[in-house]
C-alpha cells in the first residue's frame, strides 16, 4: 500500500551555483540565519557536492560542481524562498539566472 504524499508548497527558481573555490565559507551565512547545512558526496571522484539545507520542517537540496559554475533549477520552500535567495547571493553560493 502506498503512503499518501504530503503536499509540498515550493517555488522553482533558476540559479547559477558557484564552485567551492569561489564561495568558500558560504555555509556560515546560512548557519547564522538558523539553517542546518549537511553535506553528502554521492560520487567517488568528488566532482559533485550535494548540500542538504534544513530549518525546522523545511529543507532543500543544492548540487554544487567542483569544476565549474552550473546553472540549474532548484525547488525552494515557498515561504522561505525570498530569504534563501538573499542568503545565496550574500554568501556567494549562487545568484538568480535567466
Question: What's the confidence (pLDDT) of residue 7?
Answer: 47
pLDDT digits (tens, 9 = 90+) for 20-43: 888 888 999 999 999 999 987 666
Query: Residue written as cell 564552485?
Result: 19
For 7, the grid coordinates are 503536499
pLDDT of residue 4: 47
- The pLDDT value recorded for residue 11 is 87
What's the Cα-to-Cα distance from 76 to each of 17, 22, 30, 47, 58, rounded to whole Å?
Answer: 14, 23, 14, 23, 9
Phi, psi of 85 (to 5 degrees): -60, -40
Say what the pLDDT of residue 69 is.
93
Q: What is the DSSP string of 59-94?
A: EEEEEEESSS-EEEEEEEEGGGHHHHHHHHHHHTSE
- Domain spans, the chain: 10-96
d(CA 19, CA 17): 7
Domain 10-96 has CATH 3.30.160.110: yes
Q: Is the pLDDT of residue 1 over 70?
A: no
pLDDT surpassing 50 at residue 19: yes
Q: For 46-82, how does the pLDDT look when each residue is reduced to its tens digit (9 = 90+)?
A: 678 889 999 998 889 898 888 899 999 988 998 899 9
Amino acid at each position: 500500500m502506498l503512503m499518501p504524499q504530503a503536499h509540498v508548497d515550493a517555488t522553482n527558481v533558476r540559479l547559477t551555483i558557484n564552485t567551492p573555490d569561489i564561495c568558500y565559507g558560504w555555509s556560515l551565512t546560512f548557519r547564522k540565519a538558523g539553517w542546518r547545512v549537511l553535506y553528502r558526496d554521492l560520487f567517488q571522484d568528488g566532482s559533485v557536492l550535494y548540500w542538504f539545507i534544513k530549518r525546522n520542517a523545511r529543507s532543500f537540496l543544492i548540487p554544487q560542481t567542483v569544476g565549474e559554475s552550473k546553472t540549474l533549477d532548484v525547488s525552494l520552500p515557498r515561504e522561505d524562498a525570498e530569504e534563501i535567495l538573499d542568503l545565496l547571493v550574500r554568501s556567494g553560493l549562487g545568484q538568480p539566472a535567466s
